[in-house]
Structure 1
Amino acid sequence: MRETDDRCRLVLILPPTEDIEKQAQQLEEALGAGDVATVILPQYGRDDQQFQIAAEHIVPIAQAHGAAALIAGDSRTAGRSKADGLHFEGSIEDLRDTLAKHTPKMIVGAGGASERHKALEIGEAQPDYIFFGKIEGDIKPEPHPKNLALAEWWASMVEIPCIVMGGNEVASVVAAAETGAEFVALRLAVFEHPEGPAAAIATANALLDEKAPRFNA
């Protein structure tokens, strides 16, 4: 077992960009700098063809570094790009249908857990993980207090792993890890870091090594 398997790990969310070549290079730098469990690629405003091109750039890079590559929303793009899975946000009924179609062949995780009742409904569908926060929710340095509270509540009572959205500063991983969440997601904290993505990932992992609770302690 890797040391990182016993504490909160990083999830990277790709920000919107028109320069996918540059983003692919940034991702390569980030993943080469330390442990990352998962990379999530959202569609944002891209049309289907642009999204497919982006996925075909990003998925192999993530997988080459041992990170799971997830596509947010589009199962066709996920299949064509040979991604590891889907990040789903939608109705409970559509989530159940997506899980029935794609698991266990693909990872299917679920967002949209805005409060406890909705989180429990999502949990009953048995996704591979639940995501607390919004993909574009890193608008402040720290994670949103509501997401931290939900993650702490969830991690204390449910076995399905959770991801909590971090803030736009790397140090936000500490507050996220202290909830007991298995994963913390970063976006702008990595891709807009003043010293570059590699420095952000190295710093985030160092903070988690030092301060994150150990699950088996």
Structure 2
Amino acid sequence: MTEPEDRCRLVLIVPENEDAAVQAKGIEDALRGGDVSSVILPQYGLDDQTFQKRAEKLVPIIQAAGAAALIAGDSRVAGRAKADGLHMTGGPAEIGEAIEKFTPKLIVGAGGAADRHAALEIGELRPDYIFFGKLDGDIKPEAHPKNLALGEWWASMVEIPCIVMGGSEIASALAVAETGAEFVALRSAVFAHPAGAAVAVAEINAMLDEKAPRFEV
């Protein structure tokens, strides 16, 4: 992840789109809006070859804006597209293998922690971050209460940074920040914002600058 601020920062999840050009424009717009720590690129329903081409198109756009480009799940695609990291959602064995194989060359983050026990099991593997929620879990305006609770519990006792999935409205980013989580992940709140993705990112950063709790350096 790029250099931490003294408050919760934004992670973007690229929404599904069959049109690579539309996806690329959406990412460019969002990254023009202000500070974004990293961008996670899920495969969705794309076959491996199409996902490879898609990643090769999108990763340089993300990196040119100073954000880290993270590929969800496929280490071969991450390597060929020269991404900055991998977002893993398999079980502990799969996550552990990726950490052993690719760190410190790549950022390796871990999702799939649905409860405290699973989170601690994953935490023992020392990923670069832990993700609470699902990449497509922004189905309501607010962040899921369970993910907020896990983020608050984790941030209060573990040094490994956590990302908490927000909701479909930008106000959900502040609720995540108030848990003490280092990062908030948003998808539709940014990319489906009526005024456009750049405006959404600018609004979120302004809100976090003004209202998010500060971390002790």
TM-score bracket for the superposition, by shorter chain length: over 0.9
Residues 2-21 of structure 1 aligned to structure 2 (within 5 Å) = 5-21=5-21
Write out aligned runs for 1:9-158 (5 A). 9-158=9-158
Which secondary structure does the structure 1 equivalent of 2:157 belong to?
A: coil
CA contact (8 A) 1:39 1:69 kept: yes
Q: CA RMSD in A?
A: 1.3
In the TM superposition, what is the alpha-carbon distance from 1:158 to its structure 2 partner?
0.1
5+ residue gaps in structure 2? none
Task: Tell me if structure 2 keeps the 8 A contact 1:4–1:209.
Answer: no
Q: Deviations over 1:124-164 (max 9, x none)?
A: 00000000000010000000000000000000000000000
> Cα deviation per residue 1:73-113 (whole Å; 9 max; x = unaligned)?
00000000000000001111111111111001000000001
TM-score normalised to the size of structure 1?
0.97
Instruction: Report SS of the residue matched to 1:210.
Output: helix
Q: Aligned residue for 1:202?
A: 202
Residues 1:52 and 1:3: Cα distance change in structure 2 (over 3 Å) = closer
Q: State the Cα distance separating 1:26 from its structure 2 match.
A: 1.2
Deviations along 1:36-91, one digit per CA (max 9) or x if unpaired, are 00000000100011101110111001100110000000000000000000000111
Partners in 1 of 2:41 and 2:146 — Cα distance?
A: 24
Partner amino acid, structure 2, of 1:165: M
- Given that residues 155 and 179 in structure 1 are in contact (C-alpha distance below 8 angstroms), is that contact kept between their aligned partners in structure 2? yes
Query: Which residue is equivalent to 1:191?
Result: 191
Local SS of the residue matching 2:70: strand
The 2-side partners of 1:151 and 1:45 are apart by 29
Q: Identity percentage over the alignment?
A: 69
Q: Runs of 4 or more off by more than 2 Å in structure 1?
A: none
TM-score with structure 2 setting the length: 0.97
What SS class does the counterpart of residue 181 from structure 2 fall into? coil
Task: Flag structure 1 segments of 5+ consecutive residues without an equivalent.
Answer: none
Q: CA deviation at 1:7?
A: 0.3
Q: Which amino acid aligns with 1:84?
A: D
